[in-house]
Amino acid sequence: MSNYKELMTALGNGEYYAGLILGKDGLPDHHLVLLPGEAEDISWTAARDWASSAGGDLPTRRELSLLYANCREHFQRVWYWSCEPQEPRAQLVWGQNFTSGIQTMYGRPFRGRARAVRRILID
């Protein structure tokens, strides 16, 4: 789906269009949609399960950056989980601080917040 009008009509109740994620060679890859709802005081494993039950996934680091740039008003001014472990130290996971905009890592047992996203692939 690449037509903006079609995309806007495809949004569900409470969903927000976050923007376009570029793929390889700078070509458009997918549209990012922020789903309604939020989990708080939750470990990374529980956050992944919560996002799945909400019909989406935890965002990637790149997607969190886009959400910070375009949808900051839909987030608390705190730290949120990504879906990306820090390689090679897989016990740490990346996240985004929605106060300062920095990305940093915490251990999987840390209790943070989570938002779910869905991706609409570009035809």
pLDDT tens, N- to C-terminus, the chain (123 residues): 557 777 788 898 999 999 999 887 777 789 999 999 999 999 999 999 999 999 999 999 999 999 999 999 999 999 999 999 988 888 899 999 999 999 999 988 889 999 999 999 887
Three-state SS at 30? strand
The whole-model pTM stands at: 0.89
pLDDT (0 to 100) of residue 88: 84
Residues in contact with 66: Cβ distance below 8 Å, sequence separation at least 6, in sequence order: 18, 19, 21, 32
End-to-end CA distance of the chain: 5
Cα–Cα distance, 22 to 43 (Å, whole number):
29
State which residues form the domain around 62: 4-121
What CATH number is associated with residue 95? Answer: 3.10.100.10
Using an 8 Å Cβ cutoff, are 57 and 114 in contact? Answer: no
Domain count, the chain: 1
